[in-house]
Structure 1
Amino acid sequence: MPLSPLEHDRRYGELDQVIRAYVGQLADDTPDEPSEALTAYLRHTWHTRPWALAVAERQLREYAEHPPGRLRLKLGEFYVIPDIGLPEEDVQRWLHTLADHIRSSVEEGRVPPPAPPSTHWEWHARFPELGQFLGGWFSQDMPDEFADHHQAVADYRSATDPQVVAHLVGEVHELLALDLDESGYASAVAELGMEVDAPAPYTPGAWLSHVADLLAQPLAEYGPPRAEQE
C-alpha cells in the first residue's frame, strides 16, 4: 500500500527537500564541488534548520544503499526520485556525492555565506508567503479579477490572517534588505510568481516597499475589504 504522509516524511522528507532544490537546475555535483542547487540548499538550511542537514545526509545515504525494487515502486511504497537529467546508473553515485558534501559541510563547519537566493527553489524556500502573495494575487489573471494593484492588495489583506500578513511584511523587508538593483528586484518578483508589471510610476523595488507600508497599516486605516466597497 502507498506510504502514509507520516511514514513518507519520516523516511524521505528531507531527501525530498534536497531533490526539490534541483528543479530547473543541473545535477552537476562532483566529489570536489557541490552544484549551485546543493549550495543553495545548504545555505538556506544552515540558516533556518541546521539540524535537518544530518537528517538529509542519512536519508540520502540510506536511499543510495537500498534503492527500491520495481514492485515496491509499483505499490507506491517507496519515494520515487524524479528525472534529474542523469542516467539511471549514475543516480546512486550522485546521491552518495550529495551525502558526502552535506556531511563534510557539517563536520567541517563550512557554511555558505548569506547571499541572495540563486535558484527558484531557494527563492520560494526563503520567501514562502511572498511567493503565495505574488503568485496568487498578481498572476496574469490579475487584471481580470481586480480593478488595479491596490484592490488586489486590499483583497489579500481582507482574506488573510493578520499574523500571516505581518509575516509577509517581514519577508518584503528582508527582500529589500538584499539591496538589489531594479533588474534584480524585477527578477525576484518574477521568480516568486508575479506575472504583471508593477503599477506606474513604481519600479518593482519601490512597489514592494509601498506594499509593505500599506500592509503594515492597521486594517481600519487601510480601508474596508473589497466586498464592502462594492
Structure 2
Amino acid sequence: MSMKPLEFDRRYGELDQVISAYVGMSADDSPDEPSGALRAYLRHTWHTRPWALATAEQQIRDYARNPPGRLRLSLGEFYPVPDVGLPEAEIQDWLFVIADHLKRSIEEGVVPPPAVPGTRWEWHARFPELGQFLGGWFSQDMPDEFPDHDAAVRDYIATTAPQLLARLTGELHELRALDLDESACALAVAELGMEVEPPRPYSLKGWLAHLADALNGFQADYGTGPSTA
C-alpha cells in the first residue's frame, strides 16, 4: 500500500524538494561544482528554511545508501526518483554528489547571495502566491473566462483570503525590487504561469506596478461589529 503522507514526509519530504528543483534542468552536478538546479535550491533554502538543508542531506544520503528494490517501489513504500536525464546506474552516485554538496555548504557556511531566480522551481518557491495568481487567473483561458484583465483581478480579490492578498502584494513589490528589464520580466511571469499579454496601454512592468498599487489600496470588508456605546 502507498505510504502515509506523514511517513513520506519524514523519510522523503525534503529529498522530494531537492529533486523537484531539477525539473526541466540538467542533473550535471560534479564533485567540484553543483548544478544550476542545486544552486537554486541552496540559494532559496538558505534564505527561507536553512534548517531544512541538514534534513535534505540526511534523507538523500540515506536513500542513496539504501536504494529501493522493485517490490517496494511497486508497493509505493519508497520514493521513486523522477527521470532527471541520467541512466539508472548513475543515480546512486549522483545522489551522493548532491549530499556532499549540501554537507559542504552547511559545514562551511557557504550561503549564496540573494539573486534573481535561476530556475522555474525557484521562481515558484520564491513567489508562490504570484504563481497561483498569474497561473490561475491569467492563463491562456483568461479571455474566455473574463471580459478583461480588471475583471480577472476583481474575481481574484473576491475569492481570496485577505492574508493571501497581502502576500501577493508583497510578492509583487519583491518582484519589482529585482529591477528586471522588460524581457527578463516577461520571462519571469511566463515561468510563473502568465500566458496573456498585459492590458493596453501598459507595458508588462507598468501593469505589474499598477497592480501592486491597486492591491495595496484594497481593504477587505470585515463588516461592522456590534456597537460598544
TM-score range normalised by the length of the shorter chain: over 0.9
Distance 1:197 1:4, change over 3 A: same
Is 1:98 matched up with 2:98? yes
Shift of 1:154: 0.6
Superimposed CA distance per residue, residues 97-136 of structure 1 (whole angstroms, 9 cap, x where no aligned partner): 0000000001001111110000000000000000000000
Superimposed CA distance per residue, residues 21-55 of structure 1 (whole angstroms, 9 cap, x where no aligned partner): 00000000000000000000000000000000000
Q: Aligned runs of 1:144-155 on 2, under 5 Å?
A: 144-155=144-155
Is 1:208 matched up with 2:216? no
Tell me which residue corresponds to 1:156: 156
Tell me which residue corresponds to 1:39: 39
Tell me which residue corresponds to 1:11: 11
Question: Quick one: which amino acid aligns to residue 127 of structure 2?
Answer: F
Shift of 1:2: 1.0
Question: Quick one: which amino acid aligns to residue 44 of structure 1?
Answer: H
Distance 1:24 1:220, change over 3 A: closer
Shift of 1:218: 3.1
* Aligned-partner SS, 2:16: helix
Question: Quick one: which amino acid aligns to residue 93 of structure 1?
Answer: D
Query: Matches of 2:19 and 2:5 in 1, distance apart?
Result: 17
Q: Aligned runs of 1:118-157 on 2, under 5 Å?
A: 118-157=118-157
* Aligned-partner SS, 2:30: coil
Query: Matches of 2:220 and 2:128 in 1, distance apart?
Result: 26
Give every structure 1 segment of 4 or more consecutive aligned residues whose post-TM-superposition deviation is greater than 4 Å: none
Question: Quick one: which amino acid aligns to residue 46 of structure 1?
Answer: W
TM-score (norm 2): 0.95
Name whichever of 125-134 and 211-220 sits farther off: 211-220
Query: Matches of 2:50 and 2:220 in 1, distance apart?
Result: 40
Superimposed CA distance per residue, residues 126-161 of structure 1 (whole angstroms, 9 cap, x where no aligned partner): 000000000000000101111110110011001001
Tell me which residue corresponds to 2:227: none
Superimposed CA distance per residue, residues 154-186 of structure 1 (whole angstroms, 9 cap, x where no aligned partner): 110010011100000000000000001111111
2:162–2:220: 8 Å Cα contact kept in structure 1? no
Shift of 1:219: 4.0
Query: Matches of 1:82 and 1:145 in 2, distance apart?
Result: 34
* Aligned-partner SS, 1:103: helix
Tell me which residue corresponds to 1:228: none
Question: Quick one: which amino acid aligns to residue 173 of structure 1?
Answer: H
Question: Quick one: which amino acid aligns to residue 181 of structure 1?
Answer: D
Query: Matches of 1:96 and 1:65 in 2, distance apart?
Result: 9
Superimposed CA distance per residue, residues 188-209 of structure 1 (whole angstroms, 9 cap, x where no aligned partner): 1101000000111111111111
Is 1:68 matched up with 2:37? no
* Aligned-partner SS, 1:110: coil
* Aligned-partner SS, 2:32: coil
Q: Structure 1: which 5+ residue stretches go unaligned?
A: 222-230
Query: Matches of 1:23 and 1:218 in 2, distance apart?
Result: 36
Q: Aligned runs of 1:164-175 on 2, under 5 Å?
A: 164-175=164-175
Tell me which residue corresponds to 1:89: 89
Question: Quick one: which amino acid aligns to residue 110 of structure 1?
Answer: V
TM-score (norm 1): 0.94
Name whichever of 131-140 and 208-217 sits farther off: 208-217
Q: CA RMSD in A?
A: 1.0
Shift of 1:213: 1.1
Tell me which residue corresponds to 1:227: none
Shift of 1:220: 7.1
